[in-house]
Amino acid sequence: MDKILRPTRRGLIKGAGSAALAAGIGMPAISRAQADVIRIGHLTPRTGFLGPLGEFAVMAVDLAVEEINGAGGIAGRKLEVLKEDSVNPQTASVKAERMIERDKVMAIVGEISSASCLTIAQVADRTKTLFINTGGNSDALRGKDCKKYMFHIESQNSMYVKTAGRALLQQGLISGKKIYSLTADYAFGHDLTNVAKRFFAQNKGELLADDLVPTDATDFSGYLLKIRNAKPDVVITNLAGNQVTNFLKQYAEFGLSQPAAGFGFDTALAWAAGKDNFAGTWPVVWHHLLDTPGSKKFVAAFTKKYGKPPENQAWGDYMMMKILAQSITETKSTDSAKLMEHWEKGAKFDILKTREGYFRASDHQMMHEMYTITALPAAQVKNQWDLFTSSAPVPGPNESLEVIATTPEEASCKFA
């Protein structure tokens, strides 16, 4: 036994040598600042339960860089994006710091986890470097935890709840109805259920129960039996990631008749559930069936490159690269303060939807249209991607884009 574990001198030297070699390889060779290159850092989870969505973000960034550089770069300079797996909040902040301090990126783009958004934003604020969140939903990031150098192209939880809520109100499923909800037992779920409860109270919905679901739960049979006994009029989920897919598959399996809906969603989850299991009404920030010339072009380019349509997560990261390129050209600067000033003044951007979007100065949230998607009956589904129909954009054409966002009473952001 001891023989195996006792290191030999030669073994030690070999080990140390290969460790040093590995460290050397791991170090990017681009630590010298180059004047003709604009460098942006991209951080997003690529492993763990958010990894599947992160993969779409990375594909979208690659496509955007290809398009931008193919068209001559940004004001003649080449765009270079450093991409890394953010893993968890601690690693995310260490990597953000290294990208800013050592690799001299002008901005950091990405994320899906709200917890990692917060740690990256702290680094961004300290180093006065822009961080644009493309996937973290929590209202707290735009409220009590808001940061001057953090912007959000991803919608906040309130926008998701008010968008889906509108559709549910129209279907007569909230006012005077009994609601049963399932909530993921971590920061995102708790933030979302608070917003949801406020919405139910405002619209006279009766919440029968709100069950917390541990993040490692895969089996919903116990919850489904409880729901069946409680006889609600509608089942609402505040879940994320694979749990939504598990829920959808088992909801179909147990044959519950109540309409299901949710306040957090990604189109990849519908694809994973498949046409036989996908059901209900869900909010999304964007989807691949949008009938605008910009979206059609993006979907075509993405599908050509990767053989499948872009997920909604792909839209945020793709869009943000384009917005940065456009803003750098317009302001002739890569300076974070200058870009922030430009955005806070209400610069408008074509974000592949019917109306242009802009960052709200008070909390740096992108104001833009959202959609609810509704599952098609299995018999009407033509392929594995187009499983749903879309609502018209929310808010409608005559409304302010801000009607679905938090009001100053609901969340207040004070930039330090």
Please state whether beta strands 130-133 and 150-152 pair in parallel, antiparallel, or not at all (unpaired): parallel
Q: Based on CB atoms, which residue is closest to another protein, 14 or 348?
A: 14
The stretch near another protein (CB under 8 A) out of 80-88, 145-153, 156-164, 248-256 is 248-256
Catalogue the E-assigned strands of 196-343.
206-213, 234-238, 260-262, 281-284
CB of 411 to another protein, least distance (A): 25
Structure tokens at 80: 């270079």
Near another protein by CB under 8 A, which window of 14-22, 67-75, 142-150, 274-282?
A: 274-282
How far apart, in whole angstroms, are the C-alpha atoms of residue 201 and residue 374? Answer: 24
Asked if 73 touches another protein (CB under 8 A), the answer is: no
Distance of CA 155 to the CA centre of its chain: 8
Q: How many residues bind another protein (CB under 8 A)?
A: 49
| Residue 104 structure tokens | 């001299």
Among 8, 9, 33, 219, binds another protein (CB under 8 A): 219
Residue selected from 62, 311, 363, 369 as contacting another protein according to rule CB under 8 A: 311
Smallest gap, in angstroms, from Cβ of residue 262 to another protein? 15
By CB under 8 A, tell whether 1 contacts another protein: yes
- Is 245 a binding residue for another protein by CB under 8 A? The answer is yes
Smallest gap from Cβ 132 to another protein, in A, equals 23
**Residue 217 vs 301, nearer CB to another protein:** 217
* β-strand partners of 78: 37
Nearest CA-CA partner of 248 in 266, 230, 233: 266
Q: How far is the CB of 118 from another protein (least distance, A)?
A: 23
Question: In the complex with another protein, which residue's Cβ is closer, 335 or 386?
Answer: 386
Q: How far apart are CA 338 and CA 329, in angstroms?
A: 12
Q: How far apart are CA 92 and CA 250, in angstroms?
A: 34
- How far apart, in whole angstroms, are the C-alpha atoms of residue 266 and residue 154? 12
Strand partners, 183: 212, 238
Structural contact between residues 127 and 107, judged by C-beta atoms closer than 8 angstroms: no
**x/- binding map, residues 179-198, to another protein, per CB under 8 A?**
------x-------------
- For residue 309, state whether it binds another protein (rule: CB under 8 A): no
What lies within 8 Å, CB to CB, of 99 at 6+ separation is 41, 43, 82, 84, 105, 108
Site for another protein, residues 342 to 381, rule: CB under 8 A: none
Contact residues: another protein, CB under 8 A: 1, 4-5, 46-49, 51-56, 185, 211-214, 216-219, 221-223, 225-226, 228-229, 242, 245-246, 249-250, 252-255, 268-269, 271-277, 311, 384
